[in-house]
Structure 1
Amino acid sequence: MLKSILLVDDEAAILRALNRLLRRAGFTVHTANSGKEALAVLSQNDIQVVLSDFRMPYMTGGELLLRVKEEHPHIVGLVLSGYADLESVTSILNSGTAYKFLHKPWDDTALIAQIEMAFEHWATLQKQHGLTRMVWESDEALFEINAQGIVSHLNPAACDLCCASENDVLRQPISEFLHAVSPRQIEQLCLNSETQTELVYEDNIFELACRPTANSLWILSVRQKSHNGGLGVKHLLHRSEIIRRLSEWILPDKETDQCTPLPSACLIYMDVNRFKTFNDSLGYQEADKLLAEVAHKLIEHKPAGSYVGRITGDEFVLAIPGISSDEETLTLINQLLKVFENPITFANRQVYISFSVAYAIAPVDGRCPEDLLQNAQAAASYSKRRGRYIYPRYKPEMNKRNNELMTIQSDLYRALERNEFSVVYQPKVSFSNGRILGAESLLRWKHQTLGMISPATFIPMAEDNGLIEAIGEWVLATAATQSKFWQLDGLPSFLLAVNLSGRQLQEDGLLDTVRSIIRTSGIDPTLLELEVTETFLMQDIDHSLSLLHELKSIGIRLALDDFGTGYSSLNYLSRLPVDTLKIDRSFVVDLEESKERYNLVRNVIRMSHDLGMQVVAEGVETQTQFELLKSLNCDEVQGYFISPPVSPDKFRMLLENQPLIDNNYNLALPAFAVE
C-alpha cells in the first residue's frame, strides 16, 4: 500500500524536518502551511493520514480536522503539538475528530512508529466490520471485544491461548480466560487505542495491543514476546522483564505497601551517543543490527547474576544485585566501556560506539523498580549534557534539571522565528605576526525567561529534533552576510569558518544551500571555511570523501574540527581533502604538564605540515600554552588567551586594532619542551 501523508504546520522549519524524516522512512509526503492550503491539497491527492499542528492562524488544527472528517471521512487525523495544547486537544480526541495526539518535541523513532499505527488504523477502518478471514487465520491471538471486555469474536489462535472452544469464550469477559488482564486494563486499552501494554502471563511475556473497528468494538491482539529485547538477541530483556527482575531484589512489604530493598541493587543506564546518525546513514534496519552487536557485547561481558535490558531504541540498562558502593559501580562501568575501545566491524566498515552512562543504587536512589529506572535515566541525561568520561550517580536535583530541559526543548522550535539567536565570532590569530587570519562563527541563544542557554545544551536537541538544518542554514547565511559587510567597509579580509553538523552533512540539498548563500551574501567562496567533525567523517569514509570533494569544488576551504577526539583519523587523514586541522582543546589543556601530550601534539603538527595542512590550536588559555604551541610551529591560535567569542561590533574593533599579540615573551618552558 502506498502510504500517503499530509503534513500541516505554519512553521517552515518543522515542515522541513518532518518532511525529511518521513520521506526517509518510506512515506509519500505532502505539505501545507495552513488549513486552507491543506484542504486544497486533500482535494487533489489520495491521502490516508493528516498530521496537523494545533496552533495555527486563521484555522486551528482542530478546526481543520473537523473539516477533514466531514469532507473526507476515510482519512485518519493526527494532532502534533506541545503539551500545553493537550487540554484543548482532548475534546477533539473524545469526539473522534482526531485519532490521537502526538507531542512536540518528538522522538524520530517513536513518531514513525505512531504514524505507522495510524496507517494500520486507516486500513482497519476500510474493513468496516472487523478483520478479514486472512487475518483471523493469523497465528496471532485476536479477540474482538467491547469496552467492557466481552468477547464477540475470536480466531483459532485465541482459542488455543485460552485453552477453550470458541463457544466457551464468546460473550464472556476476556479476563475470565486471560487472568492477567483486568477489566480496568481493558477499559484503558479501549479508551486509548494506541496503547500497548506488556503483561506477565503464566511466566511468559505477552504484548497486548488494542485497536478500534466498527460499531464501538475493539480488536485485542495478544502476541507472545520472546526474551530478546526486540533485537533478536538471546538474554536481552525488555523493560518489563528488567522491572520484574528488580522486583525480585526490591521486595514490597505487604503490610505497609511500601518497597523495601532486599538486598541492595544497582542499575547502570547506558545511552548510545549520537545513534541517530547511524539511523540516518545506515537506515533503521541496519542500525538495529548494529544495536544487536552492542547488546551481544554487553551480555558477553556482564557480571555473573546480572541482567542486560533494552529500554528504548538505543538505551540499555545493566541490573546488578548486591552492589551498594560508588567505587564498585564505577569499576564495573569502566570495565564495560573498555570493551568498546576497539571498533565494531559492521557492514564492511569499522564503527566506534560510545555511551552516556550513569547509575542509581537502591534503596537510596529509588525504593521501587520504576523509581530506580526513572532516576537512572535522569542521571544518564545529565551525563549526556556533561560530555564523555562523566558517569554520575543520580541526585534529586537532576529531575528538576530535566524538567527545565523539557521547557528549553519545547521553546527551541520557536527560537528562530522569535529572533532569539545570534552569532558571535572568535578570532584565529597567526603565531608569526599576531594578525587575524580567520574567525569561527558560533551560535548563541538568549531565551526569553531563562537567559543564555549553553550551546552544549541546545545544539544536541536541535540535532535530535531535526531543527539543526534550518538553524545551521541561518547561521551560515548570517555569518556570510556579516563577513561581506566587513569587507565592504574596507576592513582586513580573513577566512570565515562555520561549523556544519552531522545532520547537515547528510542533507541532500546541502550543496545547493551553500551555493545559494554564497550567491545571496556575495561572499568570496575562497574566504569561507566549513568545519566538519572528525567523528562524523569516520562513520562512512567513502561517503565523506565524495561530499568533501563536492564542497571543495565550490571554491571553499575545509577544516577538520575537534581533531584527536575520534579514533581512526590517522589512517585516513591523507585521503581527506581538508585544508586545516584543528587540534582539540582537550589536548591543549594538559600540554604544559604532560610530556606524552606534548609529543603527541608535536607529531600531529609535523604530520599535518607534511600533508600540506594548516594547524589551528583550539582552547588556548594561558601564555605557557601559547609559547609551547609556537615552539612546535603551530600556525594559528584560537582561545580565550587571545579573545573570547565576541559580538560583530567588538570583532570589528579587533580587525581595526591588529596585531592582537606581541610575540616578544620571555618565558621559561618546561624541561621536556627544550630537550
Structure 2
Amino acid sequence: MPLALTVADRAAYRVERVTGLADALARLNQDGFDVVVLDGALPDRHQSVAALRQATPHALILRFSAEHEGGIEWRVVGDGTQGRITRDDADADGFLPTLATLVAHRANQEALHLSEARFRSISEASPLGIFVSDDQGACIYTNPAYHEISGLNFGETHGTDWSMAIHPDDRPGVLAQWHDALRNQTPFQAEVRFVRGDGSVVWTRLNRAVTQDGAMCLGHVETVEDISQRKATEAVLRAAEDDLFAERERAQVTLNSIGDAVLSTNMQGSVTYLNSAAETMTGWPLADALGRPLAEVFRIVDGTTRQNAPNPAQRAISEDRTVGLAANCLLIRRDGTESAIEDSAAPIHNRDGQVAGAVIVFHDVSKSHAAAIKLAHLAQHDFLTGLPNRVLLTERISQAIGLAHRHHAQAALLFIDLDHFKNINDSLGHGVGDQMLKAVAERLSRCVRATDTVGRLGGDEFLILLPEIDQPEDTVWVAEKILASLATPFLIGEHELHVTPSIGIGIYPDDGIDVDTMMQSADTAMYHAKSKGRNNHQFFTSEMNARVVRRLAIESRLHRALKQGEFELYYQPKMDLVSGKMTGAEALIRWHDPELGLVVPEQFMAIAEECGLIVPIGRWVLREACRQVQTWLANGLHAVPVAVNISALEFRHKDFLTSFALTLKETGVPPRFVQVELTESLLMHNAESSMAVLRALKRMGIALVIDDFGTGYSSLSYLKQFPIDTLKIDQSFVRDIVSDGDDASIVSAVIGMGIKLKRRVIAEGVETQEQRAFLLAQHCDEAQGYLFGYPVPAKEFALSLDQQVHGLRE
C-alpha cells in the first residue's frame, strides 16, 4: 500500500496511508503531497508509478525494498521511482527528517534545472554571443549568437580557449588588457576583430568576467557583440568627418591665403569668424573677436562726414540679399589707424533656406585710391616736370576763355620753345636734357603769378596761361622776365649749359576765341620769334599765317622729297688763289619740288631741322657726295676733295661716327676726297665732346674745315687744340673788304691767325677781282664764290673736272 507524506514545514509532518492505487490517486487529486512511498510488492509497478507521476508530477516517488542496505538510496530506477528505502529505515526516528531533506534537495535541484533552463532560453534568445569557459579557460558552452558571430558551431568551440577567435594582430593586446583587469580586479571590455570560420573578419565588442564562489574561480563568461555595422558606420562617419575636416581645412587655408578679409556674424550681429586678413585689417585676433558685436570689431565711418557708416551685415540680413558698402568708407582699426576699404555683405542661409547670419568680404583700397589719385594727376600733369600737361592746359585755357568772355576781359597765351635744345639731348644724352627741362620748368614757374598756369606741351615746348590781363602789353613784362631768367647759365651735373627761349604770344579775343585757335596763334608767333633770331618774344599777327601755311606745306613735302628722291647735290669749286687751280668743291643741296620748283637750302633746311629731318637729309648728302666722287674717280676724272656741311644735330647724334664710317666703306671713296665743314659755334658747344669727334674723323683721314669762321665765339686755346685743317672766312666779311676797313681788318686778322696756327684759310663769297686781289695780297690760300664758278649739278661739274684733266695734260 502506498505511503503518502506531506511536509508542511521542517518542524511538522503529515503522513497518510492508503491501501490501494485507486485510493492513492483519489487522495492525490484532492491534496498535494511531497513524497509518495510505494509498497515494493505493488503489482504492475511501472503502470502504477506512471499513474502516480501523472497525478502528482512534482512529488518524490520512492518504494520500499526488502533489502537492507543501510540508509536511503537516492536514484532513479527502472520502474520510474526515484529511490528506495527499507522498512527498517521507515521505522527509524530520523526517517521523516531525512525525507524532508530529500524533498528540499529535490526542490533545489529542480530550481537549479529551472535556472539552467531559464539561462539556456535567455542565452539562446540573446543577440549577444555568449562563451562560457571553465576555470582553465576551456569552452564549456556557446550560444547560437556566438555561433553566428564566430561562424563556428559548439563542436568547434567546445574545449577551445576563449581568445581563439580573436584576430592574431589583436590577440596580444587583448590578452594584456585581460590580465591587467584580473590583476587590478577591474571590468574588462575590448573591441577586437574576430576571424570567422570562413576566414572573414568581423568587428566585436567583448565583455569578459570571472564566475566565482567566494575566492574560488569557477570559470569565465564572455559576451560578444557584433559591432561590424557600427564600425562601418563609424568608418563612414569618420571618412565624412575627415572629408569635412579636409574641406574646412581647405576653406580655412583658402580664406587665410586670399587677399580679401572675411568676417561673419550670426543673426544677433555677433562676430563668428575672421580670417587672417580680417584679423590684420581690424586688429582683432579671432579669439578676442568671437561673440563681440560687429560694430566693435568692424568699425566703419564715412570718410567725409566722419559719421558711423551703415552696417552692411544688418542690411544683408534684413534684405536677404548681397549689398555693397557705402562709398568712401574708412575702417578704423583696433589701434585707431584708418584705411579706406571696399566691401560687400551677403546673407548666410541654413539648411532650411532661412537667413542665419551674414558674411562680409572687404579689402584695403588705400593704395588703389592713392594710385587712382596719382593716375588722375599723371593724366593731367607732365610726368617729368610735374607741370600741367596738354589735357589740363586745354581745360584751363577753356575756363579762362569762358571767364574772360563773361567779364569782357582779355587773356594771354605764351608759347615757349627752347632754342637748339635738341643739341643738348644729342650731345649729352636725354638724362642731362631731362634735368635741364626740370630746371627750366622751375624758373618759368617763378616768373608768373599764383593765378597763372605754367604747363609743358612736350619736348622742349612750354605754355604759360595768363587768365587775367588788362591789356596785351601786360604780357611783355612776363616775357622779358622769362628771357632774363633763362639767360643765367644752368649747372646740370658737371655741365654749365646755356639755353634761350623763343616766345610767341597770343591774345584772347583778338588772336582767337577758342582753345585751338589761341594755341595755334601763340605757336605761330613763336616760330616768328625764331625767324627773328631766337631769344626774343613776338606777338601774333595775321601776316604770320601765310608764312605758317607755307612752312607746314614745306614740312609735309620734305618727307615726300626724301622718300621719292627729289633732292640733288650741286657742286661749287674752291680755287687756289696763287695757281688758279681747282683745289676742291663744296656739295650744296637743292630740292626739286614738283609744285614749288627749285628750292634752295635757306628755304627748307631750318624747317628740316625743326621737324627732325635734318639728320636723314644730312646722311643722304654725305652718301651722295661720296658716291659721286667715287663715280668720277671710276670714270678717270681728276676728282677733287668734296666738302659736306654737317649740322649740329647730325654731329651730336649718337650714331654719327658709326654712320660716317659705314658710308665711306660702302661707297669705297678714299677718305682724302672727303672734307667736313662745321660751324665754330657748333664746335664750341661742349668743346670737349667736339674734340673727341673731331679726332675720330681725323683718324679716318677726313679733312676738317671751320665754316663761317668769325661769326661766332671761339676760344683760341680750343682752336689751337682742334685738329682743324682749314679756316673758312664767312662771306659777310668778304663782301665789303674793299670798301669797309673793319671788314678788311677782320679778314686780315683771320688770315694772319691761320698762318700763325699753320691752318689753310679759304674765303667764301668772292665775286670780284678786287676781292681776289686783296685776299691774294694778304696771303689767303683759297677762295670760293661766283667769281670762280656757280654751284652746278654733278654732270656739269664733271665737265670742269674733265677740262682740268686736259689742262694738266697740256
Q: TM class by shorter-chain length?
A: 0.5 to 0.7
CA distance in 2, matches of 1:242, 1:546: 43
Aligned to 2:376: 223
Q: How many residues in Structure 1 have an aligned counterpart in Structure 2?
A: 452
Aligned to 1:556: 702
Write the letter of the residue equivalent to 2:762. V
Aligned to 1:538: 684
Residues 427 and 653 in structure 2, CA contact (< 8 A), matched pair in contact too: no
Equivalent in 156, 159, 167 of residue 325 of structure 2:
167
CA distance in 2, matches of 1:632, 1:161: 86
Aligned to 1:573: 719
1:332-481 alignment, distance < 5 Å: 336-337=482-483, 343-368=489-514, 370-384=516-530, 388=534, 392-396=538-542, 398-399=544-545, 401-402=547-548, 405-456=551-602, 458-459=604-605, 468-481=614-627
1:275-294 alignment, distance < 5 Å: 275-294=421-440
Residues 276 and 464 in structure 1, CA contact (< 8 A), matched pair in contact too: no
Write the letter of the residue equivalent to 2:721. R
CA distance in 1, matches of 2:451, 2:580: 61
Could you tell me how far 1:443 is from its partner in structure 2? 1.9
CA distance in 2, matches of 1:434, 1:656: 16
Residues 534 and 569 in structure 1, CA contact (< 8 A), matched pair in contact too: no
Higher alpha-carbon Rg: 2
CA distance in 2, matches of 1:408, 1:573: 37
CA distance in 1, matches of 2:470, 2:798: 58
* Inter-CA distance 512–249: structure 2 relative to 1 (3 Å threshold): closer
Matched residue of 2:510: which SS?
A: coil
Could you tell me how far 1:548 is from its partner in structure 2? 1.6
Residues 378 and 399 in structure 1, CA contact (< 8 A), matched pair in contact too: yes
Matched residue of 1:286: which SS?
A: helix
Matched residue of 2:758: which SS?
A: coil
Write the letter of the residue equivalent to 1:442. L
Residue-by-residue CA offset, 1:511-569 (whole Å, 9 max, x unaligned): 45444443454433222111234344334333322222121112121122344455454
Residue-by-residue CA offset, 1:48-68 (whole Å, 9 max, x unaligned): xxxxxxxxxxxxxxxxxxxxx
Residues 498 and 530 in structure 1, CA contact (< 8 A), matched pair in contact too: yes
Write the letter of the residue equivalent to 1:549. R
Write the letter of the residue equivalent to 1:538. M
Residue-by-residue CA offset, 1:114-169 (whole Å, 9 max, x unaligned): xxxxxxxxxxxxxxxxxx979xx9xxxxxxxxxxxxxxxxxxxxx96999988233
CA distance in 2, matches of 1:411, 1:361: 31
Residues 249 and 262 in structure 1, CA contact (< 8 A), matched pair in contact too: no
CA distance in 1, matches of 2:711, 2:739: 19
CA distance in 2, matches of 1:440, 1:378: 34
Residue-by-residue CA offset, 1:55-113 (whole Å, 9 max, x unaligned): xxxxxxxxxxxxxxxxxxxxxxxxxxxxxxxxxxxxxxxxxxxxxxxxxxxxxxxxxxx
Write the letter of the residue equivalent to 2:702. I
Write the letter of the residue equivalent to 1:475. V
Equivalent in 222, 245, 270 of residue 416 of structure 2:
270
Write the letter of the residue equivalent to 1:607. M
Write the letter of the residue equivalent to 2:376. R
* 1:613 maps onto 2:759 in alignment: yes
Write the letter of the residue equivalent to 2:326. D
Residue-by-residue CA offset, 1:183-234 (whole Å, 9 max, x unaligned): xxxxxxxxxxxxxxxxxxxxxxxxx999xxxxxxxx897534799965558x
Whose relative contact order is higher, 1 or 2, with alpha carbons under 8 Å and at least 6 apart?
1
Residue-by-residue CA offset, 1:339-387 (whole Å, 9 max, x unaligned): 5556433332232323333333343222445532321112323444675
Aligned to 2:642: 496
Residues 261 and 367 in structure 1, CA contact (< 8 A), matched pair in contact too: no
Q: Which runs of 5+ in 1 are unaligned?
A: 1-131, 138-158, 171-207, 211-218, 254-258, 660-675
Residue-by-residue CA offset, 1:262-299 (whole Å, 9 max, x unaligned): 54454432211232332233333321211233344445
TM-score normalised per structure 2 = 0.47
Could you tell me how far 1:612 is from its partner in structure 2? 1.9
Identity of aligned residues (%): 34
Residues 751 and 779 in structure 2, CA contact (< 8 A), matched pair in contact too: yes
* Inter-CA distance 227–221: structure 2 relative to 1 (3 Å threshold): closer
CA distance in 2, matches of 1:306, 1:600: 49
* 1:636 maps onto 2:782 in alignment: yes
Residue-by-residue CA offset, 1:620-667 (whole Å, 9 max, x unaligned): 5667766665555443333445444221233234446789xxxxxxxx
Residues 324 and 362 in structure 1, CA contact (< 8 A), matched pair in contact too: no
Residues 629 and 673 in structure 2, CA contact (< 8 A), matched pair in contact too: no
CA distance in 2, matches of 1:413, 1:475: 15
CA distance in 2, matches of 1:612, 1:473: 31
CA distance in 1, matches of 2:704, 2:798: 24
* 1:645 maps onto 2:791 in alignment: yes
CA distance in 1, matches of 2:589, 2:636: 25
| Aligned-residue CA RMSD (Å) | 4.7
* Inter-CA distance 486–358: structure 2 relative to 1 (3 Å threshold): same
1:178-257 alignment, distance < 5 Å: 222-224=375-377, 231-232=384-385, 252=403
CA distance in 2, matches of 1:644, 1:579: 24
Equivalent in 461, 484, 492 of residue 630 of structure 2:
484
CA distance in 2, matches of 1:437, 1:629: 16
Could you tell me how far 1:613 is from its partner in structure 2? 1.8
